[in-house]
A = this chain, B = another copy of it.
Amino acid sequence: MGIQERKQRERERRRQQIIVAAKRVFSEKGFSKSTMEDIAREAELSPGTLYLYFKNKDELYASLSLRILQYLNIRLEDVKKETDTTPPQKIVAIKEALYDVYQFDPMILINMFHLQSSETLQNLSSPLLEDITELSRNSLNLLAEIFEDGSGRKDFIDKNPASVADIVWSLFTGVVLWEESKRMIDGDKNFLKETLDVAFDIFARGVAK
């Protein structure tokens, strides 16, 4: 049915429209201070309409993470596929993938953090929650596999690849959060790129055989 399809497409477009607006508003004000009306206004819709596409505020928020995680997955997939790169180059590629994801949506880590709250998680409908955990597990797996390959070929030290994956991810999020923090308090200088470079440099030396 062409009509059904069109409806479906239009529905999807509306969802995106809302997500884009939500991203902007949440980024600017943080979760608690953003109101559904703010988002509706930004999306040029009425508050009621938001509830036709998202069960509640938490679920709308969670959907942002989903989008990001999808992008993250794609980027890591690419890194994994590239076979003609040396181990140090792999790590640089990971760093760049992560940095791009951050650029694509600086909110990502803050999202991840907000999701942490168990009360928020309980408000999510389970399919969405599953999607999110599934995707984030997948991202970590991809990272782990990259290290596993290298570890198998004795490129990397012999640590549990899943742990190493967790650590890369933690290092990245930690640096982003901390640099943002400093920017908030001290001033406007943004050293994120530089600090990430140093951090991944150290990390690369640390995991090299």
Contacts and interface: CB of A to CB of B under 8 A. Distances in A.
Given A33-B117, A113-B113, A205-B157, A175 B166 contact: yes
A141 interface: no
Contacts of A167: 171, 175, 195, 198-199, 202
Interface in A109-140: 112-113, 115-119, 121, 133
A198 B113 contact: no
Interface stretch (A41-49, A81-89, A100-108, A179-187): A179-187
Contacts of A159: 198, 201-202
What is the interface residue range for chain A against chain B?
A: 35 or more
Contacts of A16: none
Contact of A170 (B118, B174, B184): B174
A169 B176 CA distance: 12
A51 interface: no
A201 B157 CA distance: 11
Interface string A161-179: 0011011011111110111
Interface of A: 29-33, 112-113, 115-119, 121, 133, 157, 159-160, 163-164, 166-167, 169-175, 177-182, 184-186, 194-195, 198-199, 201-207
